[in-house]
Chains A and B, each alone.
Chain A
Amino acid sequence: MPNPTTWDNRADRVVPPSGYTARLTQFTAGAMAFLTVFALALSLATGRLADRWSSELARSATVRISAPVEQMGIQSDAALKVLLATPGVSSARILSKAEQQSLLAPWFGPDLPLDALPIPALIEVVETSDGVDTAGLRLRLQAEAPGAVLDDHTRWRQPLVKAADRLRFLGVVAIVLIAAATASMITLAANSALAANGQVIQVLRLVGALDTFIARAFVRRFTLRAFWGALVGTILGVTAILALPGASTEGGFLTGLGFQGLHWLWPVLIPPLAGIVAFVATRVAAFKALKGIT
């Protein structure tokens, strides 16, 4: 029984080296890997965003008290009392003047005179995982503190979560399309190499070469080219991602475009996956082409 490694090398050697298909395959795999890194980063970042918006914000709500100045304290206390007595509310607290000032600072600056402005009081509500019966809570708030308005963030959160989910889906679609485009390009390059080596294949068949032996030479070559090309593309893509500004609250989504924790393993998978795509594409192309040669 021959050593499989030696056998592979033998099969590889019987096909002449081809210059431009090699470069084409490597370039394609590299470019596609680079794009895949970005598609992955986009998909993972939007995934994180969607998760955060749907889980963290879903468990919070705000009660806004709009009332005359003399009523503000009474209604705030009444609303807080109702909230703390409501099943599903984990905690509720009135935001301090300083906290309100910091919330408004991005729009009005740090020196906003809160006492001189009719700013509503805000109560931050944190829900338990069971959630709150918002309809019932609204009725009770209306009865006890008529100036209280419950905002459970649903109105703006749901479209954002939906948009983030769509972006994540589009990222996955982009990755699938990139893989399909890579397979198509490699199939074209493999077909070109097979056609250019028609006479070589005929000679090999006439001396008794099996289709698997002939195909192996092409498959091995294209698989390795795709792997190395994708490795270079992935390294460049990851470098570009690392060069992006770090995640910050001010930058929002765009500066959070990258990989976190175990997600760094995803780019590592790109070169082997590119190799697998090339393996399958070349194998299918080779066996199809060999069928036409006796």
Chain B
Amino acid sequence: MIQLADVSYGYGDADLFSGVSLDLQPGSFYFLTGPSGSGKTTLLKLCYMDLLATSGKTTFFGKDAREMERNDIAHARRRIGVVHQDCRFLDHLSMSDNVSLPLEVAGKPRDTENLAELLGWVGLSSRAHAHPPELSGGERQRAALARAVITAPDVIVADEPTGNVDWEMSERLLSLLVELNKMGKTVLIATHDLNLIRAAKAQVAVRVLRIRDRKVQEAGADL
């Protein structure tokens, strides 16, 4: 679905990664770990085309990223639900409008029942009409997750989706991702939270990737 082959990326002269290869298989569940500043967010950005690799080949749903037109990129992004670390929203729209934004841009009708159910699942039913600036960090993260999954995309990429929520809510959000994974969706989560990884491992087959020495390695069974 998404393949990175011998990819490098750097800011300025220094390479953050070099020779990174990654193949996100359909229906698989990945965690990406690594120390702060190791490049987890950058790697995720490469996975949803917010950044383009400085070298190597990136393929999205069978198409080379360098050969994709702007419309191709937009169509590919509709198949990737993203939870950004900074949870960007449209501040003039209500939370429910923000969550259903991917449906609107794709010209799909909004199913109010589904939307209400999804907002209930992430614990935001009472905040549906609030605007993003009125929400706490945790609420924004939950809303971002709801927005990422509302179209049931093929791939879900989440950058620290449980960073600002309590454990109970983390488990709840994780179970949503696990359910989607069981439906055949690919999930890639960047996190520091080892408990979250262990909780996921108890429910589905999980592969843990670790960024170390500018390379992405598969973590052992110690996690």
Contacts and interface: CB of A to CB of B under 8 A. Distances in A.
The winner among B73, B101, B104, B109 for most chain A CB atoms within 10 A is: B104
A210 B97 CA distance: 18
A203 interface: yes
Contacts of A98: none
A260 interface: no
A165 to B, nearest CB: 50
A7 interface: yes
B66 interface: no
Interface in A77-104: none
A207 B50 contact: no
B74 A203 contact: no
Contacts of A7: 107
Contacts of A210: 70-71, 74, 105
B104 A206 contact: no
Given A199-B88, A294-B49, A207 B102 contact: yes
B31 interface: no
Given A200-B90, A202-B88, A203-B89, A208 B106 contact: yes
A44 B78 CA distance: 55
Interface residues of B, number: 29
A211 B70 contact: yes
Contacts of A10: 104, 107
A294 to B, nearest CB: 6
B142 interface: no
A199 B133 CA distance: 14
B88 A203 contact: yes
B17 interface: no
B29 interface: no
Given A7-B107, A294-B73, A208 B102 contact: yes
B140 interface: no
A113 interface: no
Nearest to A10: B104
Interface string A97-126: 000000000000000000000000000000
A138 interface: no
A205 interface: yes
B33 to A, nearest CB: 24
B75 interface: yes
- Max chain B CB contacts within 10 Å: which of A202, A208, A211, A213? A208
B80 to A, nearest CB: 8
Nearest to B105: A209
13 contacts: A2-B107, A2-B109, A16-B92, A203-B88, A203-B101, A207-B105, A207-B147, A208-B102, A209-B74, A209-B105, A210-B70, A291-B70, A294-B52
Interface of B: 48-50, 52, 70-71, 73-75, 77-78, 82, 84, 88-93, 97, 101-102, 104-109, 147
Smallest CB-CB A-B distances: 10 pairs: A208-B78, A209-B105, A16-B92, A208-B77, A2-B107, A207-B102, A210-B74, A10-B104, A203-B88, A208-B74
